[in-house]
Structure 1
Amino acid sequence: MTVRSRATLGASAVVALALALASLALLGLLDANLLHNAESDAQAQADAVAQLAEQGHLDRLLPPTHGADFLQVVDEHGQVLTASQNLAGRPAISNHRPTSPGTVFSTWNISPLGSDHRQRVVQVTSATPQGLVTVYAGTSLRDADAADDTTAAALAVGVPLLLLTVGLVTWWVTGRALRPVEAIRAEVAEISDRDLHRRVPVPQTHDEIARLAATMNATLDRLESSGIRQRQFIADASHELRSPITVLRTQLEVALAVRDRELWPELISGALEDTARLQQLAADLLLLARIDASEPVPDGRLDLTALVRKAVASRRGDRVPVRAELASGIEVAGSGLWLTRLVTNLLDNAQRFAHERIQVSLTVDGPDRRTAVLEVVDDGPGIPAADRERVFERFTRLDDARSRDHGGAGLGLAIARDLAAHHGGTLTAEDSPRGARFVARLPVA
């Protein structure tokens, strides 16, 4: 069943149950009220006749009275002492002989008057000088029966009509409410991997469906951005791979054509350099793929201070010496291999452009000292403020870094930022009096 059908069925079922209970309550209250009124009138007449019997003032024929259809007075032996005109000459209407004074209420379906309506009979037993006397006063329930029948007929017609109205209104309202959802579904069904620029309609209702449409459009924005990024990445990767593969093939073809063995070492050395560049590029692409796949980060604690110190110590043979000022005992949660790669990529970038100095510092910052701050500063040409975000894009080289003699394919800083984000941190290029300054912030374990 559709949501529309379930909503209509549920609303109709609830209303039907409520109407059934209300109808039963209405009929019960109406019948009880009419019965009480008839009973009160009959009892008043029976009490009045009982008082006359106690005083010995009974007439041979009781006059008709308001509130009672018939009256009959019977002694304790079952002898009829007097009665109303419509019961004159008839025997006692009940064979039961009370043994003590009191009042009894009962309803008889068969009236002694031959009426088809029920009779509410009040039986009042009183003590007189001649013994116990029982007065029977009965009133017809024709008004109550008529009212019950009329009410039941009205409910039999009105309840189904009301249920039908509720069902139709619910079906219509639910259809209107779900119409934007169907429009969203239809639009999403038409969107393919080549139509990620399309968006679903957002209704002007500012309700849950409007928020759903806005969220769907935000998801499509992310998918489109991811698709564009993926296509750009594939194009850049293809371009970066094509150049070393072309050079490598040329070198191998030249080596195959040259017969002078003295030239082979030089040709093979160049081929090995391009092979190493291809191997490094393939490793970087594999690491980016693992990061993009959101491979979970280990939650084990590691000493970030010792990790940075070891990474710096391994660079002692570099062109520019690295100075380090590291706070002790800083621990973070994550992968030691990936965090080492983050530090290494920052140091590699600094080595490419530094003139004489590279400074590495590690401190703890933040209001609760819950953030580890790693800074790598060099004295190179620096990064223009307009390019401080662009340097983190994949395969990006600034003008001063376009020469392949500097090495790298433009993935180092992109990988470093992705690794920092994967560990719940950030990596930014910030202001520096001279050169470039990269700041990585990671949450302390």
Structure 2
Amino acid sequence: MRRVLGSVRARAALAATLVVAVALLAAGTAVLLALRSNLTEQAGSAADSGAHRVATSLATGTAPGALDLDDEDQPVQVVDDDGRLVAASEDLERISGAGTDAVKPVRARTDDDGDDHGGDDSGKVSDSTDYSEGSATVDGDSADYRFAAVEVEDTAYGTLTVYAGAPLSAQQSAVSTALTSMLIGFPVLLVVVGGVTWLVTRRALRPVEGIRAEMAAITASQDLARRVPEPGTHDEVARLARTTNETLAALEDSVERQRRFVADASHELRSPIASLRTQLEVGAAHPGLLDVGGAVEDTVRLQELAADLLLLARLDAGEKPGGAEVDLAALVREELSQRTGDRHPITAEITGGAQVAGSRSQLARVLGNLLDNAQRHARTGVQVAMSSKGAAGAAGSRVVLTVADDGDGVPEGERERIFERFVRLDDARSRDGGGAGLGLAIARDVAARHGGTLTVRAAPGGGALFELGLPLGRCP
């Protein structure tokens, strides 16, 4: 039960039903109040009309006792200014809410306490009408009435007030019928609204359930090659399915790259470890044959490879380069001054200074990797150049550092592949003379995390030209 009530379908159906219920309650209340007010106003008009007819007769000189009230189809009272009943409908048996509870009239008092007479004096009918509600019993029939009270001034009997009632039975009947209809119709309508909302929501969420079921199957099978079904609509559910599939594709690619990385790292580590073990075992058996230089070289290779793998792991984990200001020109000069054992000479053309934001050690690693790569492939020399484009802090301003060699260059179809991890274009090349295929991959990752780019193209004089572009004076 809790699972059903906690579902989106149940909550949507319940919410829609509650909203419609509140709307129907407000609308029904407004309709009932408007109907009652309208019918009450009609009853008041009828009572006012009857009261004015009697008041007009009194104003023209008719004595209260001489009024013919039998023709009135409503209860009528005439009360003097002392509150005494001086005229009433003949069949009136009980009344409340009018001028007085009395039903038997008394003799009207004239101005001089004389006998009732038809007098020649004329009175004045008041322009205002007061209303009240009450009940009356006429000829054995009891009902609720709306009474209208009209005063007649300046008569021979003083000021008289005429009370005439109009029945409220029509109003009560109409309101009761409307209320009964609402009490029957509203629940039926709410059930229909809830049911339709449930069905529509169920139909709309059916693709979501398909996505959930497929994701559960993917989780259970760990098969990232599977994809969730994409509905043929253009709504949010379809976009959710497409985004989910894109996420699965990215996750599959990431897992595959991680798998390849682990396999390649294991392969690269195996060679120097095996070589080092062989040399140590030979040295242990024949100390005179121990190749100390080879052991040291293999140890250095292991150390460098371990450092590369650690840096890649930190980069993959999203390590931020920091926001320290680095003088790239000074960094290049310092790195070049320390490279005294390179096979080929390095010529540098550095104009001015360039401040970039990031990690000095990581940027030095990028430059070192580019120079190591150029030294391995150059025939006679390596050229380094640096220039700035735009003012520091301005949009699009960059510093460009290029490292070029005069070797064989990089084929155009391989210019992106060389930045992949453990990729070496010359598979026959000696591992001792070449790297593990991580230097350029590390350089591009570091450049990207500094908000920059690293590309390769053909050098003007032949060979390969690597171009590092970094934003000037701002954090990436």
TM-score relative to the length of structure 2: 0.86
Cα pair 1:60 1:83 within 8 Å, conserved: no
CA distance in 1, matches of 2:407, 2:413: 17
One-letter amino acid matched to 2:160: V
Query: Alpha-carbon deviation of 1:223?
Result: 0.6
1:61 aligns with 2:68: yes
1:255 aligns with 2:262: no
- Aligned position for 1:34: 39
- Aligned position for 2:112: none
Cα pair 1:361 1:375 within 8 Å, conserved: yes
Cα pair 1:117 1:145 within 8 Å, conserved: no
Instruction: Give the alignment of 1:20-419 within 5 angstroms.
Output: 20-57=25-62, 59-65=66-72, 68-78=73-83, 80-87=85-92, 94-95=99-100, 103-111=129-137, 114-127=140-153, 128-192=155-219, 194-258=222-286, 261=288, 263-264=289-290, 267-365=291-389, 368=395, 370-399=397-426, 402-419=429-446
- Aligned position for 2:469: 441
CA distance in 2, matches of 1:78, 1:116: 24
1:9 aligns with 2:14: yes
Partner secondary structure for residue 47 of structure 2: helix
CA distance in 1, matches of 2:352, 2:324: 18
Closer/same/farther in 2, CA of residues 209 and 92 from structure 1, 3 Å limit? closer
Cα pair 2:52 2:150 within 8 Å, conserved: yes
CA distance in 1, matches of 2:409, 2:93: 128
Cα pair 1:302 1:331 within 8 Å, conserved: yes
Cα pair 1:63 1:84 within 8 Å, conserved: yes
**Root-mean-square deviation (Å):** 2.5
Query: Alpha-carbon deviation of 1:208?
Result: 1.1
Partner secondary structure for residue 91 of structure 2: helix
Query: Alpha-carbon deviation of 1:379?
Result: 0.5
Cα pair 2:10 2:198 within 8 Å, conserved: yes
Q: Which moved more, 1:343-352 or 1:268-277?
A: 268-277
One-letter amino acid matched to 2:151: T
Partner secondary structure for residue 178 of structure 2: helix
CA distance in 2, matches of 1:20, 1:165: 16
Q: Which moved more, 1:6-15 or 1:392-401?
A: 392-401
CA distance in 1, matches of 2:93, 2:10: 67
Question: Aligned pair count?
Answer: 437
CA distance in 2, matches of 1:90, 1:400: 117
Query: Structure 1 residue runs of 4+, over 6 Å off?
Result: 88-93
Query: Alpha-carbon deviation of 1:83?
Result: 3.7
CA distance in 1, matches of 2:397, 2:407: 31
CA distance in 2, matches of 1:396, 1:75: 118
Closer/same/farther in 2, CA of residues 116 and 23 from structure 1, 3 Å limit? farther
CA distance in 2, matches of 1:188, 1:31: 59
**Cα deviation code 1:97-136 (max 9, x no counterpart):** 9xx9653210004545554431111111111132112211
Cα pair 2:409 2:458 within 8 Å, conserved: no
Cα pair 1:362 1:375 within 8 Å, conserved: yes
CA distance in 1, matches of 2:343, 2:217: 57
One-letter amino acid matched to 1:123: A
One-letter amino acid matched to 1:28: L
Partner secondary structure for residue 407 of structure 2: coil
One-letter amino acid matched to 1:317: G
Query: Alpha-carbon deviation of 1:3?
Result: 2.1
Closer/same/farther in 2, CA of residues 345 and 355 from structure 1, 3 Å limit? same
**Cα deviation code 1:238-288 (max 9, x no counterpart):** 1111112222222222222336x3x33xx2221221111111111111111
**Cα deviation code 1:75-116 (max 9, x no counterpart):** 33455544444339999963389xx96532100045455544
CA distance in 1, matches of 2:223, 2:239: 22
**Cα deviation code 1:200-237 (max 9, x no counterpart):** 11111211111111111111111100111111111111
Cα pair 2:151 2:161 within 8 Å, conserved: yes
Query: Alpha-carbon deviation of 1:143?
Result: 0.4
1:427 aligns with 2:454: yes
CA distance in 2, matches of 1:91, 1:368: 90
Cα pair 1:372 1:443 within 8 Å, conserved: yes
Cα pair 1:315 1:322 within 8 Å, conserved: no
Query: Alpha-carbon deviation of 1:413?
Result: 0.6
CA distance in 2, matches of 1:431, 1:85: 123
One-letter amino acid matched to 1:34: L
CA distance in 1, matches of 2:448, 2:70: 105
Where does structure 2 lack aligned partners over 5 or more consecutive residues? 1-5, 103-124
Query: Alpha-carbon deviation of 1:184?
Result: 1.1
Cα pair 1:121 1:139 within 8 Å, conserved: yes
One-letter amino acid matched to 2:421: R
Cα pair 1:111 1:119 within 8 Å, conserved: no
Closer/same/farther in 2, CA of residues 416 and 89 from structure 1, 3 Å limit? closer
Closer/same/farther in 2, CA of residues 268 and 79 from structure 1, 3 Å limit? closer
